[in-house]
Amino acid sequence: MRFLEVQDDGSLVEESDLELGTEKVLIIVNEETKRLWLWKGVNCPIRKKFVGSRALSDLRKNEYGFAYIPQSCDQNDETSEFIIMLEKIGKTDLVSPELLSKVREIRDRQKNINIFNETDIEPSPSMPKPPSPTPDVEESESRLKDRPAQVPQSQLPNHLAKMGAPGNRPMPTILTALESDVVESPKSQTIVEEKPDQTKESFKILRDLGAPSGFYRDLVIIGTKVYTETYDNKFEELDEPPEGIFFSKNHVPRMICEKGIVRSIEFLKPEEGAELSEEDKKISQDINDLIAMFEIEIG
């Protein structure tokens, strides 16, 4: 396991031990689970967070490859998987006792629940036993009937093992029990909407980042709303947009992702001869890296 501290200029300094700090941004490489963790202190500047994200992306692309999955968490808001990793290396004192207790409680409860154990179901005494099949019928059925969980999980590709391949069901995890935050519609469609506090956080990130030098924001999309930026650095919601399909050859799109959420999609209008500054290049990433990650995840 490697511990790397991200510097302001995007360089990495390797540390011999894991030491968290409120102004630190750290990359933790777990070769056992093939995870690249980006941990961010509560007081680190917003730009340093994105510098760390860029550094993690470069590290993954240049040294480890896309088989390693990037994950991020903030101080005092660590995920259960991150805390389980800390348990394995004896560093649980780095997180709050309340969060540690919650994760252990959910994990213990999960161990006592096996919703997929179908062998525990006993037939009712009143139910008639099915007749024994003839050898021909038995042989035919053995070729045609579904055999749940016949393929070992270890022999499946990663994306099928997670989603549940034919004959395999996806297994519940502590992470899904602890962090599920979606709303199910009556038609069983998953709808994830931007909450009011998330919208405020998105506006704060946009103000802290500012527009790249030589560009200005023409439109900003947050959730399902469209905004424009005023001269006094405020965001004004536009009226309901007209229906239609819109293309633009004169804008540069910029997508900002943070904490597993697409915070905003901006449409930037460039001034004549505008180019990204070195500072903006440090925090920006190539969209092809994002697409490549989805290709690995989805298969």
**Residues β-bridged to residue 25:** 40
Six-digit token string for 215? 């560009």
How high is the pLDDT of residue 220? 94
Question: Percentage helix, strand, coil, to 5, in the chain?
Answer: 35, 20, 45
| pLDDT at position 279 over 50 | yes
| Dist. CA 151–CA 137, nearest whole Å | 24
- Are residues 214 and 270 in contact, defined by beta-carbon separation less than 8 angstroms? yes
User: How far is CA 278 from each of CA 9, 30, 89, 118, 132, rounded to the nearest angstrom?
Assistant: 10, 31, 38, 59, 76
> What is the pLDDT confidence band of residue 286, given thresholds at 50, 70 and 90?
confident
How high is the pLDDT of residue 171? 47
How high is the pLDDT of residue 79? 84
What is the Cα 44 distance to its own chain's centre? 21
- Are residues 174 and 183 in contact, defined by beta-carbon separation less than 8 angstroms? no
**More confident: 147 or 23:** 23
| Dist. CA 234–CA 232, nearest whole Å | 6
| Dist. CA 199–CA 205, nearest whole Å | 10
- Chain mean pLDDT for the chain: 76
Residue with tokens 């995920």: 79
Residue with tokens 């059925």: 141
pLDDT, one tens digit per residue, over 96-152 is 888 888 887 877 777 776 555 545 445 555 555 555 555 554 444 444 343 344 445
What is the Cα 190 distance to its own chain's centre? 16
How high is the pLDDT of residue 106? 78
Strands 252-258, 235-237: pairing kind? unpaired
| Dist. CA 2–CA 27, nearest whole Å | 8
Q: What radius of gyration do the chain's Cα atoms show?
A: 25
Domains of the chain are: 2-111 (3.40.20.10), 132-171 (no CATH), 196-298 (no CATH)
pLDDT, one tens digit per residue, over 186-201 is 433 444 456 778 888 8
| Dist. CA 285–CA 203, nearest whole Å | 21
| Dist. CA 66–CA 77, nearest whole Å | 26
> What is the pLDDT confidence band of residue 232, given thresholds at 50, 70 and 90?
confident
| Dist. CA 18–CA 26, nearest whole Å | 9
How high is the pLDDT of residue 2? 93
- Are residues 263 and 53 in contact, defined by beta-carbon separation less than 8 angstroms? no
Using a cut of 0.75, tell me whether the model's pTM lies above it.
no
State the first-to-last Cα distance of the chain, in angstroms, to the nearest integer: 27
How high is the pLDDT of residue 98? 83
| Dist. CA 81–CA 95, nearest whole Å | 13
Number of other CB atoms surrounding residue 191 within 10 Å: 9
How high is the pLDDT of residue 67? 86
User: How far is CA 245 from each of CA 13, 155, 242, 257, rounded to the nearest angstrom?
Assistant: 47, 44, 9, 24
Contacts of 179 (CB under 8 A, 6+ apart): 79, 80
pLDDT, one tens digit per residue, over 47-85 is 999 999 999 989 998 999 888 888 988 988 888 888 888
pLDDT, one tens digit per residue, over 75-90 is 888 888 888 888 888 8
**Position 81, amino acid:** E
